Amino acid sequence: MNRDTKAAILCAGVAAPSADNSQPWRFEWRGDDLDLRIDEGRSGRVSDTRYVLSDMAAGACLENMVIHARSLGYAADVQTFPRPDDELWAARIRWRRDPECDQPEPLAGAIEQRHTDRRFPWGGPVTPDTQARLNAQAKLMPGQRLYWPQTPRERKAALSVIRQAETLRFRSPTLHAELFSSIRFAAGWHTACEEGLAPVTLAVEPPVRPVFQALRRPVVMTMLNRLGAASILGWRSAWLPIRLSPGLCLLVIPSTARSDVLAGGRALQRVWLQATLDGLSVQPYAAAGVLSLGFVPVEPAFQRQLSRLGTALGELCEPGYGLVFLRLGYARSAPHGRSGRRVPASFGTFP
Ligand SMILES: Cc1cc2nc3c(=O)[nH]c(=O)nc-3n(C[C@H](O)[C@H](O)[C@H](O)COP(=O)(O)O)c2cc1C
């Protein structure tokens, strides 16, 4: 494998999504084998206890690399978590030339176009044909599937779970600190940044921006929470956009084993790339699924609410574990701002 091919594969990997744009990936080449590792300094924080978010990001990164390599004529033999005592070692990938996979790989064309869109409202409908294409991509990863709330009762239950989880992100001091620390207010409201969440990507309406920015201070958040600020934010960030979007689905994983969470990230990426090819905009909502797994150490005052959340989510999508909701629909235009990425050399040994 030559240097350009290796570099192109890594660039495809880095284009993957990650929670809060944390980009928690490290790459190490060993000849033509590639080790994908989780970056210790960019993982393991509150919501990432047990590396649930990082494992999903690693899965998405891995899938991008596998898809892009296939379009270049390389097949991948992937071993996930090769050494149980090395919890940061997500995968070893052995690349081999495979004349049979020298075919165009349709999803590869969407790798650079895929992005998160937090605007609304979006048009529809997301037709049964489109849903079937997205389902098929998820199912290519054994045990993974998409659940689509169909009836008004199911949709209402899903909305309630997502809204409660998003509200908790502003109500719990621990989750609030984590959320606001990932927003790069120094970048201003118009420019992208290469790591973390640029305000321009958050779709906050101009008149509310100063208040939103003030909320990063715990004392302001606590004070405004007495007036119901967390509920309003949960309503604005989740309930309203979802109500004004035609599609909502939930990625369901078969177990909470790390290998299944990573495979969930691979499925998530395939679904997102297919949605991009179909012209759909996508916003993930991960809080409900991730908080429900029970690994996140929030304050004791919120524990009962968390366990109720887990029960409600479980009843919605059993068997399995609902990991991340996806809001879907057709936007009229591309978003003004997109998240950037760090320079390639910062991810480890770039070839
Ligand atoms: C595991 C995971 C969880 C995410 N959770 C959320 C979320 O709860 N809300 C949200 O708006 N975006 C979420 N995102 C989207 C990321 O913020 C986004 O991928 C990142 O900022 C990079 O931007 P891009 O997708 O436009 O490349 C999530 C992404 C991943 C991979």
pLDDT digits (tens, 9 = 90+) for 250-291: 999 999 999 999 999 999 999 999 999 999 999 999 999 999
Give pLDDT tens digits for 302-322.
999 999 999 999 999 999 999
Query: How far is the centre of ligand 1, averaged over its atoms, from the C-alpha of 118 (Å)?
Result: 10
pLDDT of 103 > 80? The answer is no
* SS3 category, 234: helix
pLDDT of residue 210: 97
pLDDT of residue 310: 95
Task: Characterise 27 by phi-psi region: left (phi > 0), alpha (psi -120 to 50), beta (else).
Answer: beta
Q: Which residue has the tokens 């192109």?
A: 8
pLDDT of 117 > 90? The answer is yes
pLDDT of residue 100: 75
Mean pLDDT of 175-183: 97
| Integer Cα distance of 224 and 178 in angstroms | 18
Provide the residue type at 346 as one letter. S
Provide the residue type at 266 as one letter. R
Go through the domains of the chain in sequence order and give each one's CATH number.
Answer: 3-115 (3.40.109.10), 128-329 (3.40.109.10)
pLDDT of residue 99: 79
Residue nearest (by alpha carbon) to ligand 1 atom 31: 18
DSSP codes, 252-315: EES--SHHHHHHHHHHHHHHHHHHHHTT-EEEEE-HHHHHHTT-S---GGGHHHHHHHHHHHHH
Rg over CA atoms, the chain? 20
pLDDT of residue 104: 75
| Integer Cα distance of 65 and 113 in angstroms | 15
Question: How far apart, in Å, are the Cα atoms of 114 and each of 16, 38, 110, 210, 335?
Answer: 8, 22, 6, 29, 12
Query: How far is the centre of ligand 1, averaged over its atoms, from the C-alpha of 267 (Å)?
Result: 15
What are the beta bridge partners of residue 249?
326
* CB neighbour list of residue 320: distance below 8 Å, 6 or more residues apart: 143, 145, 252, 253, 254, 255
- How does DSSP classify residue 115? -
Mean pLDDT of 114-119: 98
| Integer Cα distance of 69 and 78 in angstroms | 13
* CB neighbour list of residue 32: distance below 8 Å, 6 or more residues apart: 1, 94, 95
Residue nearest (by alpha carbon) to ligand 1 atom 2: 19
Atom of ligand 1 nearest to the CA of 285: 8
| Integer Cα distance of 208 and 52 in angstroms | 32
Residue nearest (by alpha carbon) to ligand 1 atom 24: 115
Give pLDDT tens digits for 1-51.
999 999 999 999 999 999 999 999 999 999 999 999 999 999 999 999 999
Q: Which two tokens stand for residue 106?
A: 């349709």
Mean pLDDT of 229-240: 97
Provide the residue type at 272 as one letter. W
Of 20, 162, 323, best ligand 1 pocket probe by most atoms within 8 Å of the beta carbon: 20
Q: Is residue 115 within 8 Å of 335, Cβ to Cβ?
A: yes
Q: Is residue 74 within 8 Å of 96, Cβ to Cβ?
A: yes
pLDDT of 163 > 70? The answer is yes
| Integer Cα distance of 329 and 167 in angstroms | 23
Of the pLDDT bands very low, low, confident and very high (cuts 50, 70, 90), residue 349 is confident
pLDDT of 102 > 70? The answer is no
Question: How far apart, in Å, are the Cα atoms of 288 and each of 128, 148, 164, 168, 176?
Answer: 25, 15, 8, 10, 15
Query: How far is the centre of ligand 1, averaged over its atoms, from the C-alpha of 114 (Å)?
Result: 11
Provide the residue type at 52 as one letter. V
Pocket of ligand 1 (CB under 6 A): 17-21, 53, 56-57, 60, 115-116, 118, 197, 283-287, 324, 338-339
Q: Is residue 262 within 8 Å of 88, Cβ to Cβ?
A: no
Q: Which two tokens stand for residue 296?
A: 């996140």
Average pLDDT of the chain, as a whole number = 96
Atom of ligand 1 nearest to the CA of 56: 1
Mean pLDDT of 215-234: 97
Residue nearest (by alpha carbon) to ligand 1 atom 17: 20
Q: Which two tokens stand for residue 264?
A: 């969930």
* CB neighbour list of residue 218: distance below 8 Å, 6 or more residues apart: 173, 176, 177
pLDDT of residue 223: 97
| Integer Cα distance of 7 and 1 in angstroms | 10
Q: Which of 98-112, 207-221, 229-243 has the lowest mean pLDDT?
A: 98-112
